[in-house]
Structure 1
Amino acid sequence: MTNQQETSDQQWFPTQVDLDNLGPYRAEVTVHRWNGFMCPRFDRQEVERLAADTERLAEGRSGVDVVRINGDNVEIWSTAFSRTGSDYELVESYPESDGRWEVGSYQWAWQECTDRDTTWYREWTGQTLSYDYAKADTWTVAFADHGYYMAVLGTFRTPLNDSELSVSLWASHLSSYILTAPNNREAERRARAHFAQDRADVHPGDRVMPLALPNTRIPAPGA
C-alpha cells in the first residue's frame, strides 16, 4: 500500500450507515471498503443503540448476532458456530480507538444510507456501459447530500457528455462533484474532504439549502 493510500484509509468522515433491519446509525468511514461494503466506526452512544437493537432482534429468534459492551471492548456474539445452534459464542472483540469502535467491519454488509430515490441514477449507470471520457484524471463523485454528511453513490470517470446524468441527479435531488485525481479512491477522498470542510459548521438535524448541485466542480488541492 502506498503512503497516499494509507493516508486515504486513515482519514475519517461523518456519515450514516445501516444494515438489513438495523439502523441508521451515525458513524465515520474512510474511503476503504471490504467487498464493496463500508467499514464504519461508531461512538459510544451509537454502539449502545446498536447493542440494544441487536438484543431486541435476537429475542425469540435464532441466528441473530448480538453486540455487547464489555468494559472498553465491544463484542459480537453469535450462534453460527455453536454446537447446539442456540448457545452464543464470542466471535469478535473490538478495542476502543479514539473513542470509537469499528463494530462489524470486515464482517457485516454496512452501507451508507439515504432516503433519496436513486432509481434514475442506477438506471443511468446500468445502461452506460461505455462512453467517451473527459481527461484521464477527471472524475465524477455522485452522492446524496444530507447536510452534515454525504452518502456516496459512485465514483467514475467523467463522461464528455454528462447532461443525461446531470438531469437524472437533479430530478432525484442528488448531487455530484467533478474533480481531478490520480484514481477513483483519491477522487472519493478529495470529494469527502471538500464536503466535510464545506459543512464543518453543520450538525445532524440541521436543514441545509440549497443542496450541492450536480456537476459541481471542486478545485484541486492547493489550487
Structure 2
Amino acid sequence: MHTQPPGRPAEWFPSSVTLKDCGPYPAEVLGHRHDGMIQPRFTSEVTGRIAAELRSDASIALNLRFTGEAIEILGLGDPPKVLERCRPDAEGRYALGHGFLPWREHTTTDPAEFARALDEAQAGGYPPAAPDAWTVAFADHGHGMAVLAVYRTPHEDAAAYDALYNVLYASGLSSYETTAACADDAELAARRRFSSQRAHVEPDTVVWPKVAPATRLPADPR
C-alpha cells in the first residue's frame, strides 16, 4: 500500500469518491496525491458496500475479498491475482488501491466547461504569475471540497486568467490561489484552509456563500 512521502505526516480530509460508475462513497482523502491520483480511505462499513457494488458491476474487473481483518483487491484470473492486501489502520479505516485504482472525488456540480477551458489554456500556454504560484480549483460542497485541478496560476494580464476565472464563476465552482513549492503542497494548503473553516459544518449542509474563485491564501507555513 502506498503511503505518504517520507517525513510528511498523513493528513486526512472529509470527502466523497467514486470508482467509474460506482459510488459515491463517504471517504477521507490524503492531502497529497500519488502520481496525480487521490488516495482515499474508508470505514469497514463503506468498504463492504464497495465490495458488494464491485461484484455487481461487470465493467470493473476487480473484486474485494475479506480475509479476517484484511481486505484483498483481486484482479482477473483463475485463481484471481491478489493486487493488494490492505489491513485497517490505527483508526480502523482501509486505504484501498492507492496509486492504481482511479478514484475520483464526487461532485454534484458539472465541471465539464471548466475542464475544457483548462485544457485549452494549458494547450495554448500562458505566462505564470510566478514560478511558485498555484491555483487549486474545486467544488465547494459545504462540509467537504472536491478538488478538480491544481495548476500554475496565470499572470493576471494573460487571457487565460480571465478565461479560467470566468468559467469557474459561471459554473458555480471555487478556487484558491496560493504560493507553494509544488502542486501537492498547494493542494494540501487548500485542504487545510477549507477544513479549518468548515470543520463545524455537518455533511449535506448547504453553505452560502461558497468560496469565491481566486480567493487568495497566504503561503502555508507548515
Q: How would you bin the TM-score normalised by the shorter chain?
A: 0.7 to 0.9
Residue 53 of structure 2 corresponds to which residue in structure 1? Answer: 53
Q: TM-score, normalised by structure 1?
A: 0.85
Distance 1:115 1:89 in 2: 35
Q: Give 2:133's aligned amino acid.
A: T
Per-residue CA distance 1:147-200 (angstroms, 9 max, x = gap): 111111111221123222111001101000011112211111100111111110
Distance 1:52 1:189 in 2: 32
Distance 1:5 1:119 in 2: 32
Please tell me whether the aligned partners of residues 8 and 30 of structure 1 are also in contact (alpha carbons under 8 angstroms).
no
Which residues of 2 match residues 1-223 of structure 1 at below 5 A?
A: 6=6, 8=8, 10-57=10-57, 64-78=61-75, 80-82=76-78, 88=80, 90-97=82-89, 98-128=91-121, 129-161=124-156, 162-221=161-220
Distance 2:118 2:180 in 1: 21
SS at match of 1:173: coil
Aligned residue-pair number? 212
Please tell me whether the aligned partners of residues 8 and 31 of structure 1 are also in contact (alpha carbons under 8 angstroms).
no
Please tell me whether the aligned partners of residues 28 and 42 of structure 2 are also in contact (alpha carbons under 8 angstroms).
yes
Instruction: Please report the RMSD computed on the Cα atoms of aligned residues, expressed in angstroms.
Output: 2.4
Distance 2:180 2:84 in 1: 37
SS at match of 1:104: coil
**Structure 2 unaligned regions, length at least 5:** none
SS at match of 2:40: coil
**Which protein has the larger Cα radius of gyration, Structure 1 or Structure 2?**
1
**Structure 1 unaligned regions, length at least 5:** none
Q: Give 1:75's aligned amino acid.
A: E
Per-residue CA distance 1:87-111 (angstroms, 9 max, x = gap): 5454432111021101222331111
Distance 1:47 1:64 in 2: 17
Q: TM-score, normalised by structure 2?
A: 0.85
Closer, same or farther: CA 88–135 of 1 in aligned 2, 3 Å: closer
Please tell me whether the aligned partners of residues 8 and 189 of structure 1 are also in contact (alpha carbons under 8 angstroms).
no
Please tell me whether the aligned partners of residues 9 and 30 of structure 1 are also in contact (alpha carbons under 8 angstroms).
no
Q: Give 1:143's aligned amino acid.
A: F
Identity of aligned residues (%): 37
Q: Give 1:45's aligned amino acid.
A: E
Q: Give 2:220's aligned amino acid.
A: P
SS at match of 1:136: coil
